[in-house]
C-alpha cells in the first residue's frame, strides 16, 4: 500500500526540493515531480538524485518537462504543449511516495486548473514548506486557509531557514497545525547532511 505526501510551498524558491529530498531519504520513499518547469539548471529530479544518491528505480518519471522556469500553464504554452491533467494521476507504486509540487498552491497548471485542484483530486495530504523569514506568517496562514477551503488535508508544516520561534509558534497556534520540524540552512547539502537533519529534527512516526 502506498502512502503519499505532497510537498508544496507557500512560494517558489523556499527550499521545497531539499525538503522533498530529505523526506524521500528519511522515509525510505520514492520521489515524483509531476511537472518540471525550467531545465536550464537541470531538473528537480536530477537534483534530488544527486542529493540522495538513490538509485533510478526510486524516481518516477515526470509527467511533463517544460523548458522555461515559469508557471506551468505559461511554460507549456511557450513550448507548444497542452497539459492534460488526466495524465497527472498519482502513479501506482509501493511504499512512501513523495510528490514535489511546482511552486505555490495556486499556481495554474492550465488556463482552467489550479495546482491545488489536482491535490484535492488526489486526496493526498500536503506537507507545507514555509520560510522562517519576515512575511512567513501571512503567506503561511493564507496557504493553510486555501488548503482548508478546498478540503485538502494538511499533514503538517516544515519550516526552512534560521530559527524564528515566535513566528513558528504564532502560525501553529492561529492555524491549529502541526509543526513537523525545521530544515536549517546547511553549508553542505548532501545525503549525510539530510539524513542527519531528519534524524535530529524530525520524527518518522509523524509520517505514519
Q: What is the pLDDT of residues 122-132, one digit of tens each?
A: 999 999 999 99
Which residue of the set 3, 16, 33, 205 is catalytic?
33
Residue 177 has phi, psi (to 5 degrees) of -115, 155
The answer to whether residue 33 is catalytic is: yes
What local confidence, expressed as pLDDT, does residue 163 receive?
Answer: 96
Strand partners, 35: 64
What local confidence, expressed as pLDDT, does residue 2 receive?
Answer: 80
Q: What is the pLDDT of residues 86-122, one digit of tens each?
A: 999 999 898 999 999 998 999 999 999 999 999 999 9
pTM for this predicted structure? 0.96
Core vs surface per residue 136-152: b (16+ CB within 10 A) or e: bbebbbebbebbeeeeb
**Structural domain boundaries enclosing 64:** 3-207
Q: How many domains does the chain have?
A: 1
> Contacts from 204-207 at CB under 8 Å and sequence distance 24+?
204/26, 204/27, 206/156, 206/178, 206/180, 207/3, 207/5, 207/23, 207/27, 207/96, 207/155, 207/180
What local confidence, expressed as pLDDT, does residue 103 receive?
Answer: 87
What local confidence, expressed as pLDDT, does residue 75 receive?
Answer: 97
What local confidence, expressed as pLDDT, does residue 181 receive?
Answer: 98
- Among all chains, which residue has been given the C-alpha cell 505532497? 6
What local confidence, expressed as pLDDT, does residue 125 receive?
Answer: 98
User: CATH number for the domain including 152?
Assistant: 3.40.50.300
What local confidence, expressed as pLDDT, does residue 1 receive?
Answer: 67
Regions in the chain scoring below 50 on pLDDT:
none
Amino acid at each position: 500500500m502506498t502512502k503519499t505526501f505532497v510537498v508544496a510551498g507557500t512560494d517558489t524558491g523556499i527550499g521545497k526540493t531539499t525538503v522533498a529530498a530529505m523526506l524521500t531519504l528519511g522515509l525510505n520513499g520514492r520521489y515524483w515531480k509531476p511537472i518540471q518547469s525550467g531545465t536550464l539548471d537541470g531538473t528537480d529530479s536530477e537534483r534530488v538524485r544527486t542529493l540522495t544518491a538513490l538509485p533510478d528505480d526510486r524516481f518516477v518519471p515526470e509527467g511533463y518537462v517544460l523548458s522555461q522556469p515559469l508557471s506551468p500553464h505559461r511554460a507549456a504554452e511557450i513550448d507548444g504543449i497542452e497539459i492534460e491533467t488526466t495524465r497527472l494521476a498519482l502513479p501506482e507504486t509501493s511504499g512512501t511516495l513523495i510528490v514535489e509540487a511546482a511552486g505555490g498552491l495556486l499556481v495554474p497548471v492550465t488556463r482552467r486548473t489550479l495546482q491545488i485542484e489536482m491535490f484535492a483530486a488526489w486526496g493526498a495530504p500536503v506537507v507545507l514548506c514555509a520560510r522562517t523569514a519576515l512575511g512567513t506568517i501571512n503567506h503561511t496562514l493564507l496557504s493553510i486557509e486555501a488548503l482548508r477551503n478546498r478540503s485538502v488535508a494538511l499533514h503538517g508544516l516544515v519550516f526552512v531557514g534560521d530559527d524564528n520561534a515566535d513566528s513558528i509558534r504564532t502560525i501553529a497556534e492561529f492555524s491549529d497545525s502541526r509543526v513537523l520540524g525545521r530544515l536549517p540552512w546547511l553549508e553542505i547539502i548532501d545525503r549525510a547532511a539530510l539524513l542527519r537533519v531528519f534524524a535530529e529534527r524530525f520524527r518518522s512516526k509523524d509520517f505514519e
